[in-house]
Structure 1
Amino acid sequence: MATFGFDRLIYGYTRFATPNSVGELIDALFLTNHNPTYFRQFIEERMFLHAPLTRWARENESGYCSWGALWTRPEDLTEKELEVIAFNRAMNVTAGYTVAVPTASDRSHALFALTGAHGLTQQDLDEIWAENGKEIDVLCNIVHLKIASLPIETNRPKLSKRQLEVLEWVSEGKSNQDVATIMDVSVPTIEKHLRLAREKLGVDTTAQAIAKITFLNQIHVRSSQGGAVQLNDDVDDGSSYVSRRLRRADEDY
């Protein structure tokens, strides 16, 4: 993107949105090369929920938008949106484009927020986009498809290999007794693995746990060498500590 004049970006992807919420940020994936201070305030403190481009993204499932198309009409902006714009400008995030990537599910959303390099105005970027916008849009879509196909790590506690194995067997229709026999352990041990898996994934039922771990591409995943991907290493099932960068975002947009 830097070759086109966009030297900073944020990529955001969630598969757990609802009609009125982005879901829990802890289940979303964010990639960025922005200043950590900016990212922390804009994303982790949920300022982005009130950004004009977030409103635009809710109204447009796919496509792209020049920031100037929204930022230059203050009469159409809410007080909170104006505050977000002022914050961005204070952090030298003054011009750019947002690309909304089409997704297969109504609960999935993927966005690229592309910030113009220092010294480039919105007019400069609009001219760049007029010449290269289609190529940039295609590149964003390709990158998203690649990222979405990979196992997605979240800031939730990691499942142990045994917990993943149990979920895989249950997803194939095996009963707890069947899984206990296959793994040569007791049924209570299988039930413990399932309970811990549900707690770590933040769900109430085993079916929900299987759905979430499947959405995150963390189940039935193998590397190109044929071995298991080292995504969830052995962890202590009794561990109570986990570093979480993102807090819950239960409120509406």
Structure 2
Amino acid sequence: MSLRAYLHAIARCPSLEQLWETHTQRMAEYGFDRLIYGFTRYRTSTSLGDPEDFVILTNHSREYTDEFLHGGLYFHAPMVHWALAHDGACSWAVLHDMTRERAMTPEEERVVEFNRRMGVHAGYTVSFKSISNRSKGAIALTAKPGMSQGQVDAVWAEHGSDIQLMNEIAHLKILTLPYSTPSRALTPRQREALEWVGDGKTMQDIAVLMGLTSATVEKHLRLARDALAVETTAQAVLKASFANQMFVMDV
């Protein structure tokens, strides 16, 4: 697939599933057969936010993701730390340098050793530029088994500009598509009630528009707040908007 064909395909993807399939196939053509994409809008000085609110896309094995993602190893991963402090692309050769110079914490060393056992030892990380200090996104591109970091760096020297561009465009497209974990998903009625709140309607207005009692509308809003793990309806509107769960067109 040419760069132009790829960009056209990504621009027209109607869902995250289709986008991710297209992107992983394209990256595999360069030797990157396992990817992890992560994005948060809820970063603070001490946290990346609730993992349930992350946008996570990956084609790594369940064995790997259970430990790295669900087991919390990502929080101590050296390349995650790099991505949080930088924009752009970085070769994993820096990990070899850090190991040689004994520049890692014990927690970082455990992550590197885990990755080595799982065959995740050569690759690149691309960290995307943010316009908010609360948000950050990055993608880790893991090279296929048998590729050395030197071979990966040679691929990047020849194609890195295009690879970085494709990942940046995929990232921008991801931010426009609906996403939710099962625990954060809204029912149609919850979504409709939040949409009317977002339009500035009063509780009485919403009850008439939805053909419900005010008490039932409030029930839908309360359940929406619970699903989104927030305390106020204003927060629910904001979080649902961030996840592109409001005013979504059927395609």
Q: TM-score with structure 2 length normalisation?
A: 0.86
| Aligned counterparts of 1:215 and 1:54: Cα–Cα separation in 2 | 22
Query: Could you list the per-position Cα deviations for residues 8-49 of structure 1 after superposition, in whole angstroms to 9, with x for gaps in the alignment?
Result: 111112222222211011111211111110111001111011
Kindly state the Cα deviation for residue 157 of structure 1 after the two structures are TM-superposed.
Answer: 4.5
| Matched residue type, 2:158 | E
Query: 1 CA distance for matches of 2:216 and 2:98?
Result: 61
**Counterpart in 2 of 1:45?**
71
Asked whether the equivalents of residues 4 and 128 of structure 1 are also in contact (C-alpha less than 8 Å), the reply is: yes
Aligned with 1:68 (options 93, 97, 112): 93
1:73-102: CA deviation from partner (whole Å, max 9, x where unpaired): 222111111111111001111111100112
SS at match of 1:113: strand
Tell me, yes or no, if the aligned pair for 1:71 and 1:85 is still in contact at 8 Å.
no
Letter in 2 for 1:71: H
Q: Secondary structure at the match of 1:12?
A: strand
Please give the alpha-carbon distance, in whole angstroms, between the structure 2 residues aligned to 1:125 and 1:109.
25
Aligned partner of 2:9 in structure 1 is none
Unaligned 5+ runs, structure 2 = 1-26
- Rounded to whole Å, the distance in 2 between the matches of 1:157 and 1:79 is 34
Is the Cα–Cα contact under 8 Å of residues 84 and 136 in structure 2 kept in the other structure?
Answer: no
Higher helix share: 2
SS in 1 for 2:83: helix
Per mean C-alpha deviation after superposition, the further-off stretch among 203-212 and 115-124 is 115-124
**Deviation, structure 1 residue 104:** 2.9
1 CA distance for matches of 2:141 and 2:250? 32
- SS of the counterpart of 2:133? coil
Aligned to 1:111: 138
Give the corresponding residue for 1:130: 157
Q: Could you give the per-residue CA deviations for residues 171-193 of structure 1, whole angstroms, max 9, x where no partner exists?
A: 11111011112222111111111
Structure 1 residues not aligned, in runs of 5+: 225-253
Code of the residue aligned with 1:44 in structure 2: it is: H
Are residues 1:95 and 2:125 paired? no
Pick which of 150-159 and 1-10 moved more: 150-159
SS at match of 1:106: coil
Asked if the contact 1:27/1:156 (under 8 Å) is kept, the reply is: no
Q: Are the counterparts in 1 of residues 52 and 184 from structure 2 also a CA contact under 8 Å? A: no
Q: Which has the higher contact order (CA 8 A, sep 6+)?
A: 1
Rounded Cα–Cα distance in structure 1 between residues aligned with 2:227 and 2:106:
38
Normalising by structure 1, report the TM-score: 0.85
Match of 1:249 in 2: none
Equivalent residues in 2 for 1:133-144 (5 A)? 133-144=160-171
Once residues 9 and 158 of structure 1 are traced to their aligned partners in structure 2, the CA distance between those partners, rounded to angstroms, is: 25
